[in-house]
Amino acid sequence: MKKYKFTRVLTFEGKKYYIRGDTLEEVIEKKALKLRDLEEGRVVLNRTTLVKVWAETMLDTYKSNVGDKTRYNNSNNMKKHILSYIGNMPISSVKPVHCQQILNNLSGYSNDTIRKVYQLLKLLFRTACDNSLIVTDPTRGITKPEGYTNKRRSITESERSVFLKVCYSDMKYIPFLFMLFCGCRPAEALAIRANDIQEVKGIKVLHIRGTKTENADRYVPVPLDFLAYVEANTPGGFDLFSCRKDGSLHNESSYRALIKSLKREMNILLGARVYRNQLVEPLPLAPDFTPYMLRHTYCTDLKKAGVPLGIAKDYMGHSTIELTANIYSHSDEDTLLAGAAYLGITPEGATKGATLKGRKMS
């Protein structure tokens, strides 16, 4: 995710424009160019303005003072879900039916995605009304389709099997393996370098240089099977395990592309049909599969291995033990069967003098 060092505000005709750059000189140059474009009227706004032109102006003006990740998500949702359908239409030609179709196309997406696109669509045309580009807001009365709710869950055993086959087939996917086997957050996994693999009293550990909380900078042991793969693919010097083609740290865009590639390969391995290099829906991989589930899976794996809650908290880099306990409290089939076995209950339904803490159950 790109983060700029310098930000300056340009106010023109009562509107604020946020100019960002890596150096002060770059910001000054960008600011001068932006001012020139505004003064020369490069962007003429009226009822014939294309939706994609207004969308860019609207995001720069009304959604500029946000973080880099939010700005990226706003731009991506706008392009993918809105502009791909009505971007080349004059803004005054957009009808309620067009807006409703945009939302209908989101059927099957998560409720979170539907909500964000809905809000962007409403803002796009509300601000167009405010600026007298249109008389009537075409988003009035539109309704959101039913979506699914993203719930934090562990990956299934079948997902794990396919995931490992894909990740071990190409070194570029190693950040996802660090998430599963070491509990890294995505940003932490992408930043791992060769010298982060260290040895403490004969045990190989990973130094996770997290910054999200004061507990995020931590050390976790590396599982032996995964360690063999890591040591066989450790880059020289202080290099990143995974990086962009120019050797730099992944940004938000390249990380999204990496996720897309991972899910594509998993879908193909699961039997998805491919036509003209495009996957044919319906896709076999669960639509709610996200890399962050790997970190959740790591925590549930700690629980299954009997790792005490306090140690799991340190390995996860959580700020409070309650966060870890929330995951530890989740039950699944494995823990259910383990508990049944502890009570002496067999899969056939028979009990063999089940006891609880050494006491006969009546």
Rounded mean pLDDT, 333-349: 54
Rounded mean pLDDT, 94-99: 96
Least confident of 37-41, 281-285, 353-357: 353-357
Q: Specify the pLDDT at position 263.
A: 95
Sequence-distant (6+) residues with CB within 8 A of 197 are 204, 205, 206, 207, 222, 230, 231, 234
Tokens 């720069």, residue located: 60
Between the ranges 68-77, 160-169, 211-220, where is the mean pLDDT highest? 160-169
Q: Specify the pLDDT at position 108.
A: 66
Quick one: pLDDT band at residue 341, thresholds 50, 70, 90? low
Least confident of 41-45, 126-130, 183-187, 329-333: 329-333
Homologous superfamily of 49-150 in CATH?
Tyrosine recombinase, N-terminal domain (1.10.150.130)
Rounded mean pLDDT, 125-149: 90
Count the residues in the chain: 362
Residues 122/85, Cβ–Cβ less than 8 Å: no
Rounded mean pLDDT, 251-265: 91
Residues of the chain above pLDDT 70, percent: 87
Answer with the residue of higher pLDDT: 258 or 3: 258
Q: Specify the pLDDT at position 355.
A: 36
**CA–CA separation, 212 and 17 (whole Å):** 29
SS3 sequence of 60-118: HHHCCCCCHHHHHHHHHHHHHHHHHHHCCCEHHHCCHHHHHHHHHCCCCCEHHHHHHHH
**CA–CA separation, 315 and 122 (whole Å):** 42
For residue range 42-57, list pLDDT tens digits in order: 556 788 999 999 999 9
For residue range 176-190, list pLDDT tens digits in order: 999 999 999 998 999
For residue range 187-203, list pLDDT tens digits in order: 899 999 999 999 988 89
Rounded mean pLDDT, 22-32: 86
User: Which of 167, 173, 137, 161 has its CA nearest to residue 255?
Assistant: 173
Is residue 356 pLDDT above 60, yes or no? Answer: no
For residue range 293-325, list pLDDT tens digits in order: 999 999 999 988 888 888 999 999 988 888 788
Q: Specify the pLDDT at position 251.
A: 86
Is residue 337 pLDDT above 80, yes or no? Answer: no
Least confident of 27-31, 169-173, 203-207: 27-31
Sequence-distant (6+) residues with CB within 8 A of 246 are none
Residues 208/217, Cβ–Cβ less than 8 Å: yes
- CATH code at 157-330: 1.10.443.10
User: ∠ at Cα 310 (309, 313), nearest 5°?
Assistant: 85
Quick one: pLDDT band at residue 357, thresholds 50, 70, 90? very low
Phi/psi region, residue 322 (left: phi>0; alpha: psi -120 to 50; beta: rest), is: alpha
Rounded mean pLDDT, 137-159: 86
Q: pTM, whole model, 2 decimals?
A: 0.58
Q: Specify the pLDDT at position 345.
A: 54
Rounded mean pLDDT, 96-117: 89
Residues 142/99, Cβ–Cβ less than 8 Å: yes
Q: Specify the pLDDT at position 42.
A: 57
Rounded to the nearest 10°, the torsion over CA 257, 263, 268, 270 is 170
Quick one: pLDDT band at residue 276, thresholds 50, 70, 90? very high
Q: Specify the pLDDT at position 284.
A: 95
Q: Specify the pLDDT at position 252.
A: 79
Answer with the residue of higher pLDDT: 240 or 150: 240
Cα separations in angstroms, 282 against 267, 274, 279, 285, 287: 10, 11, 9, 9, 10
Q: Specify the pLDDT at position 141.
A: 93
Q: Specify the pLDDT at position 333.
A: 54
Query: Residue ranges per domain, the chain?
Result: 1-42, 49-150, 157-330
